[in-house]
Structure 1
Amino acid sequence: MARGINAKVKSGTPVYCLDTFSTKAGQLAFYIETLQVHLQKHEMVSRPHRHDFYLVLYITKGGGEHTIDFVTYPVKPGSFFVMTPGQVHSWKLKPGTDGFIFFFVPEFYQLGKDEKHLLEFPFFRSVNPHPYIQLKAGQDAMIDFTIREMLREYNSSGEPFLSLIRSYLDVVLLKLARHYQAEVRTEASHATTIRLRKLEELIDQNFIKLKQPNEYAALMNLSSSYLNSLCKQLLGKTLGDLIQERVMLEAKRYFAHSDLTVSQVSDKLNFSEASYFIRFFRKHAGVTPEQFREQIHK
């Protein structure tokens, strides 16, 4: 399950793989460490970057700010951040801030759990992720205990018991999902939720090439009107809105974290002409790409 080494992609944003952090992490497809030790060993993680794995950050003391894809969240005791591969993030933490951070790839979680997919967890949705969960002091001691046990097993003198670590990870994600769902309630049925998750996954995989709602309806063997109604009912947005938001997010990532020209970004996002891309960007951002880049780098 070893992953490739970290590299800088053409976008200019560093992409870190598991074996960036240790050979052991690359071999096990899993990594966990206290936040302070993690920051001491890997100073580069305070600057904007991406990962090719899932990430969970848990804060036990201190404070600061954590910015994920242009949204800034408060950091304080009891804060959890659950992130999907590809998201760009950075943080500004107060001295003494501590907690735990762990990474894993889908293969690690799903090994022996073929019936369970990570997209079943509401915070791992690809199109409308909500990565921030705030627990009150002492609200769920089991999560804290389980994370500490996970670290202890990972650092055991012998070979880590991976099945036990996976079980601990499952407990943490399930408990976080319960707290998340208590804050973000939905009336959707299970079948409807599965359809929405599938749509989000398809958009994330295909938004560069497929930009029309009917193309996604065809992939799901559903009518465009039904799929659009589903999106409006559950998310308050049309299917077209979801596709355009995903395109805009990727465009903003390029302009914020690379030196690519407007024409180069337009090409990467598969627009036929740069002039059309500029109109598209301005319509959704309210500013031109150059103005957005200037605002970000002020």
Structure 2
Amino acid sequence: MSKKTTSKSIEKNLPVFELHAFSEKATWSEFYIENVRDHVKEHAFVEKPHKHDFYLILFVEKGRGTHTIDFVQYPIEAGSIFLMTPGQVHSWTMSPDTRGWVIFFTREFYEMHLSQNSLLEFPFYHSLVPTPVVRPGKGDAFKFAVRQLYDQYKASSKPNTRILRAYLEIFLLEAARYYNDSRQTTTHTLSFKIRKLEQLIEENFLTLKQPSDYGELMNLAPAYLNSICKDALGRTLSDLIQGRLALEAKRMFAYSDKNVNEVAEALNFKDASYFVRWFKKQNGSTPEEFRKTI
């Protein structure tokens, strides 16, 4: 492991890597870019399951493999773009001939000096119903933007962050265009409400577990929130809350040595036997059966 590498652990055996672990320059810039080959060579530990506390883009120009994100396996192929949010657990295996780029950045980096723009506006930055991969037919705009990002970042010990943000914006806007072309989209207003709701669930799912809790936070009727969730995502508001809680339970069983009682307590379930029944209803297996599949 690189000497520069540091991490903070939320769950035993599952590291959460901070941005400065990959580059001293990233400490102040809150941005990092590197070609895949050099990135993996310098930080081989990224091939094992881990989390990040920042946003991540993997842009593959050549090669093949598998990218596992929160227990779902996605094929890696030429032209694939993976866009991940903080907290997602992932790992990958790539063929030796894989070429491409990794880009890391924080919400603060993107939103600095932007009075209106928000990462919540991008459709692929769902925290609860993620589809983290985009496969555009042509990659010329992406190649141009990522080359400019790389050149700007490497040219100076103090790269111009405004220029970096501008080219990152081009990359994300292009990704959103291809993403929207392949999926049914909602209006801008409803889309933003969904993103805001997801953000609130991400921040509060351990303690707020009722639809009425989020209706109160957003000053909207729970029935209305439920309606827009079904229209935009095909799931109820309760499904989103319970799904996020179930994902955290799976992460704990997969990447920690906590027993059922400890996981139930960590997720604020007062009764372990009820938690086991709830887990089976959500995931189709008991915690013990789930652990055997990992």
Task: Give TM-score, length-normalised by structure 2.
Answer: 0.95
Is the deviation greater in 13-22 or in 190-199? 190-199
Aligned position for 1:9? 10
| C-alpha distance in 2 between matches for 1:111 and 1:286 | 43
Q: Say whether the 8 Å CA contact 1:229–1:238 is kept in structure 2.
A: yes
Which amino acid in structure 2 is aligned with residue 249 of structure 1?
L
| C-alpha distance in 2 between matches for 1:158 and 1:260 | 43
Alignment partner of 1:281 is 2:279: yes
Unpaired segments ≥5 residues, structure 1: none
Secondary structure of the 1:290 match is: helix
Q: Which residues in structure 2 correspond to 1:117-136 (within 5 Å)? A: 117-136=118-137
| C-alpha distance in 1 between matches for 2:281 and 2:80 | 35
Aligned position for 1:142? 141
| C-alpha distance in 2 between matches for 1:105 and 1:158 | 19
Secondary structure of the 1:37 match is: helix
| C-alpha distance in 2 between matches for 1:56 and 1:140 | 14
Q: Say whether the 8 Å CA contact 2:56–2:105 is kept in structure 1.
A: yes
Secondary structure of the 1:9 match is: strand
Aligned position for 2:158? 159
Alignment partner of 1:114 is 2:112: no
Which amino acid in structure 1 is aligned with residue 109 of structure 2?
F
| C-alpha distance in 1 between matches for 2:232 and 2:215 | 17
Aligned position for 1:75? 76
Cα displacement (A) at 1:158: 5.2
| C-alpha distance in 1 between matches for 2:247 and 2:101 | 28
Which amino acid in structure 2 is aligned with residue 120 of structure 1?
E
Aligned position for 2:32? 31
Deviation digits for residues 167-213 of structure 1, max 9, x if unmatched?
A: 01011001100010111122x22222222111111111111001111
| C-alpha distance in 2 between matches for 1:162 and 1:224 | 41
Q: Say whether the 8 Å CA contact 1:125–1:197 is kept in structure 2.
A: yes
Determine which of 237, 255, 258 is the counterpart of 2:256: 258
- The structure 1 segments of at least 4 consecutive aligned residues displaced by more than 6 Å after TM superposition are none
| C-alpha distance in 2 between matches for 1:65 and 1:194 | 31
| C-alpha distance in 1 between matches for 2:152 and 2:290 | 46
Q: 1:209 to 1:157 in 2, by over 3 A?
A: closer
Aligned position for 1:217? 215
| C-alpha distance in 1 between matches for 2:38 and 2:25 | 16
Secondary structure of the 1:232 match is: helix
Which amino acid in structure 2 is aligned with residue 288 of structure 1?
T
| C-alpha distance in 1 between matches for 2:155 and 2:225 | 49
Cα displacement (A) at 1:119: 0.7
Alignment partner of 1:84 is 2:85: yes
Which amino acid in structure 1 is aligned with residue 224 of structure 2?
Y
Aligned position for 1:174? 173
Q: Alignment RMSD, CA only?
A: 1.3
Q: Say whether the 8 Å CA contact 2:65–2:75 is kept in structure 1.
A: yes
| C-alpha distance in 2 between matches for 1:34 and 1:169 | 16
Q: Say whether the 8 Å CA contact 2:79–2:139 is kept in structure 1.
A: no
| C-alpha distance in 1 between matches for 2:57 and 2:274 | 38
Secondary structure of the 1:58 match is: strand
Count of matched residue positions in the alignment of Structure 1 and Structure 2:
290
Aligned position for 1:290? 288
Secondary structure of the 1:81 match is: strand
Unpaired segments ≥5 residues, structure 2: none
Which amino acid in structure 1 is aligned with residue 30 of structure 2?
A
Q: 1:152 to 1:66 in 2, by over 3 A?
A: same
Q: Which residues in structure 2 correspond to 1:199-238 (within 5 Å)? A: 199-238=197-236
Q: Say whether the 8 Å CA contact 1:6–1:19 is kept in structure 2.
A: no
